[in-house]
Amino acid sequence: MKLCVVGTGYVGLVAGTCFAEGGNDVICIDNVAEKIEALRRGVVPIYEPGLAELIRRNVSEGRLSFSTDLADAVRRSIVCFIAVGTPSGEDGSADLRNVMDVAREIGRTMNGYRVVVAKSTVPVGTSARIREAVASATTQPFDVVSNPEFLKEGAAIDDFMKPDRVVIGSTSARAIDIMRELYQPFVRTGNPILTMDNASAEMTKYAANALLATRISFMNEIANLCERVGADVDQVRRGISYDRRIGHHFLFPGVGYGGSCFPKDVKAVIQTAHEQGMPFPLLAAVEEVNHEQKRRLVDKVVTHFGAELRGRRFAVWGLAFKPRTDDMREAPSLTVVEGLLTRGAVVAVHDPEALGEARKHFGDRVSYHRVNYEALKDADALLIVTEWNEFRRPDFARMKQLLRQAVIFDGRNLYEPEVMREHGFTYFPIGRASVRAT
C-alpha cells in the first residue's frame, strides 16, 4: 500500500518506518529541510533502539523515503497520516494549528479518494475539525480516521510491530477495510483490531494515558506514606500486584512521570472536561502529586545536608525521563538538577543517551560525563533519577572510593537497603527504610 506520513517526530518516524518494514511504500514528510536531508543520510534525530537500523534497511530497499514535498506525497498515496506535534497551550489544551494546516494542505493537493488518518494525539472532536478542514479545500471524496498510537518510548518498534491492540475510529466501511488491510500483518497472533467511532477512538488514547499516570501518582503517594509509617513500599507493591484486578504494571514508585505523553495528555483531559463544564478533581490531583514527587529527591538532599548546598558537589545518574530513550521532555531530572543548582550546588551529570539533550537545558551550568563513574569523583552524594539497566549492578567499592561521602539518594529504588548497609553507604530510597552508614 502507498502511504505518506506527515511529521517526522517520534510518532511519525516510528510509524512510517514500521509500515515500510511491513512491505508498504512510505514517504515521510517534514517541512524542515535539514532534518529530511539528515534522514536521507541515515542520521536519526531521536534515539530509539532499533530504529536507525530499520530506517537504513528500508531506505536502501526502496520502501521508505523522505521528502519536504507534501503535495507530491499526497498525490502518490492512498492513506495520509497526520503525525505532527500537538503541544500543550497555556491552558493545557492541545495546540492543533499544525494538524489543521496539514489537513487543509492535504485537501488542496489530493487528486482522488484518500483516507486521512489522525495519528497525532488529539482531543475528542478533532476528527470532525479535520473533516471540515479537508472539505473546505477539496471536492474529492475522502474519509477521516482516528488511529491513536500506544507506543512506549524505548520499546516502540516492538510495540508497533506486535501491538496489544489497534484502534481504528471511523464510521466508513471503506476506510475501515483499508485500515484493516494495512494493519493485518501486525496482528497475526490474534490481538484485536478494534473499530469504533472517531470520538471514542480519540478518548481511548487519553483515557489510557491518564489511567497509567494515575497509577504512578497513586503508588508515589503510597510510597510517601510508607516512609512515614515504617512500611516498605516494595513489599506493598508485591502484595497488591498479584491481585488480578490490579496487576503488576506501573506500580513502581519513583520521582514522578515525564515524557511527551503523560503530562500533556493529563492536562488535555482536564481541559476537555473543563470545556464541558465538568471538573475532574481526580486528574488534577494526579498532576499535583506528580509535580510534588519530582521535588522529593531534592527534599531528601536538603533534609540530610541542609538547605544551603553551596560548596557541595552532586552526581546525577539518569537524565532521560525513562530508560532507552534520549527524551527529556518533562523529565524529573530537570526538576532535580535545577533544584540542586538553585541551592548553589555543583552538579555532574551522566546519561547513556541524553547528554546532547541535557546541554540544551543546562548549558554550561553542569559538567557532562559519558562514563557514569566519572561523574562521582569528589561528589558529596549520588542521585539516581532514571533506572537505566547499567546502573543496577555497579561496582560499589569503586563508587565508594570515588565519592567524597558514601551517600546515595535513589529515586528509583534500584538497590536493596541491606546491600547498601553491607557496603557502608548511607542510602535514601523512595518509600523504604533509609540506611545510615555507621
- Enzyme catalytic residues: 261
Burial 261-294 (b: 16+ CB within 10 A, else e): bbbbbbbbbbbbeeeeeeebeebeebbebbeebb
Can you tell me the distance from the alpha carbon of 137 to that of 384, in angstroms, rounded to the nearest whole number? 52
Cβ-based neighbours of 154, under 8 Å, separated by 6 or more? 48, 49, 322, 323, 324, 325
CB atoms closer than 10 angstroms to residue 426: 18
Q: Classify residue 138 by its DSSP letter.
A: -
Nine cell digits for residue 17: 518506518
**Which residue has 518494514 as its cell numbers?**
21
The crossing angle, in degrees rounded to 10, of helices 332-342 and 355-362 is: 50
**Which residue has 558537589 as its cell numbers?**
313
Can you tell me the distance from the alpha carbon of 345 to that of 316, in angstroms, rounded to the nearest whole number? 12
Nine cell digits for residue 152: 512506549
Q: Three-class SS of residue 145?
A: strand
Q: Classify residue 249 by its DSSP letter.
A: T
420 in Cβ contact with 408 (< 8 Å): yes
